Structure 1
Amino acid sequence: MPKHLFPLTVLCLALSACSTLTSPFSSGGVPSSQGVAPYREQVELTGRLNVVYQKGDKPESATVNFNWQQTAQRTDVTLYSPVGSTLATIAVTPQEAVLEQSGKAPRSAPDIDALSAQMLGWPLPVSGLRDWLQGYAMGADGKRFVASPANDSVTTKDGWRLRYVSWQDASENTPGALPQPRRIDAERNTSAQADAVSLRIVLDPAPSVPAP
């Protein structure tokens, strides 16, 4: 089986969210001078993810398309192969995380972080993606980070280095709209080479809004 489709556990968890779904960025908007669009508790996103990691002493990689839906109390992710077949579905609530792969019984845990650690044995930013995908993060200094084209990189509190490489062309879709992330690179290196992980996330453009 081609490497770019497997292991499914890698693909399934790379886009999961944490079981604690509330965000420190959800109350109030962000001033326009900050650049990024205000945080939204309810959002639907689609895109592609590439993950590079170490397996033994060799680098491995996988690529997957995804549909991401979140509300204040739930995250649902569907992962697809490059040819469009469903690889896995993920549902995360404050009570539990459930991961289901095609042809296999669902697996659950109190939170997705515990489930990913059990299945993968190396770190993934499952707790941060609800914020990162919208241009937000908790910085290493304990302060909130709000990304913009002029302020595009940060090291998070849990050691991930984020860089917002490119942005949606908001003016094409909604006149006056603030920018939203297009491509996000994330990398985490640890003292153990086997724990090194890098992600490249490319979000699809938002649907165009017809002119009045």
Structure 2
Amino acid sequence: MVCWLLPPSPAWRKRIAACLMASVLAACSSLPTPPLSQTASPVAQQRMQRLAAVQQFSLEAKLAVQYNGKGYTARLEWQHDSEQDHMRIFSPLGQQVALIHRTAQSVTLTDQRGQQHQANDVASLTERLLGWRLPLTGLSQWILGIPHPASPFQASYLDSGNPATLVQDNWQIDYENYQAVTLNGTTEQLPHTTRLQQQDVRLKLVIQHW
């Protein structure tokens, strides 16, 4: 005896699709969050020691900024070493908005009109001229996924030893994902997306190239 199954009507197909979608969403919402540790494991400590020895890097990134109810996106080019930082910020159309040059003696910001401005630190200079704070001193370490050694910090770590969150200098730093990067001849897991927040300032950095 052969039984023929009739194809479901359009109404039934919609009901089946809705049930399947609800099942998928329920499964996604029930996925466990990655386990976090508040204590750095030996793997995490070794990672911090290796990356603390990094003296220089160059990167390109997308930058999203939100502050005082405002927001915009930009492109960032950054060359860093132990003696100085050289950072260019470009508008989405490719116009250079700011050139920041930091040495041990001074910090200079050249605006889009070519005028130079100086201050003792990058955060106060960018807040005065751009409206938002750029924590360049800490960022040179945070972008690698490690704290800087000059002040206390709190962190939570993934099983891999990579930090998930970091709190330092009143900044909350969240790392969304990591990628394998060869930096100065050594391959490390470095943050791909980094979010920073302090009061009304929110920054998001997405690395394009190291």
Using structure 1 for the length normalisation, give the TM-score.
0.65
Offset at residue 94 of structure 1 (A): 1.0
User: Would you tell me which structure has more strand in proportion to its own residues?
Assistant: 2
Contact kept in structure 1, 2:75 and 2:92, CA below 8 Å: yes
Determine the C-alpha separation between the residues in 2 that align with 1:118 and 1:174: 35
Which of 70, 77, 80 aligns to 1:67? It is 77
User: Amino acid of the residue matched to residue 66 of structure 2?
Assistant: V
Q: Which residue of 2 aligns with 1:51?
A: 65
RMSD (Å) for aligned C-alpha atoms: 3.2
User: Would you tell me which structure has more helix in proportion to its own residues?
Assistant: 2
Q: Which residue of 2 aligns with 1:198?
A: 202
Offset at residue 135 of structure 1 (A): 1.1
* Structure 2: tracts of 5 or more residues without a match: 1-40
Q: Is the partner of 2:51 in helix, strand or coil?
A: coil
Matched, 1:187 2:197: yes
Q: Which residue of 2 aligns with 1:164?
A: 175
Which of 41, 48, 51 aligns to 1:38? It is 51
Aligned residues, how many? 163
More moved, 112-121 vs 102-111? 112-121
Q: Is the partner of 2:129 in helix, strand or coil?
A: helix
* Structure 1: tracts of 5 or more residues without a match: 1-30, 190-195, 207-212
Determine the C-alpha separation between the residues in 2 that align with 1:174 and 1:70: 13
More moved, 126-135 vs 143-152? 143-152
* Equivalences for residues 46-195 of structure 1 within 5 A: 46-54=60-68, 59-119=69-129, 123-138=133-148, 142-143=152-153, 150-156=162-168, 158-170=169-181, 177-189=187-199
Offset at residue 111 of structure 1 (A): 2.6
Determine the C-alpha separation between the residues in 2 that align with 1:188 and 1:118: 16
Contact kept in structure 2, 1:88 and 1:99, CA below 8 Å: yes
Asked which structure has the greater RCO (Cα within 8 Å, sep 6+), the reply is 1
Determine the C-alpha separation between the residues in 1 that align with 2:209 and 2:133: 28
Using structure 2 for the length normalisation, give the TM-score.
0.65
Offset at residue 127 of structure 1 (A): 2.9
Determine the C-alpha separation between the residues in 1 that align with 2:135 and 2:67: 13
Contact kept in structure 1, 2:156 and 2:165, CA below 8 Å: no
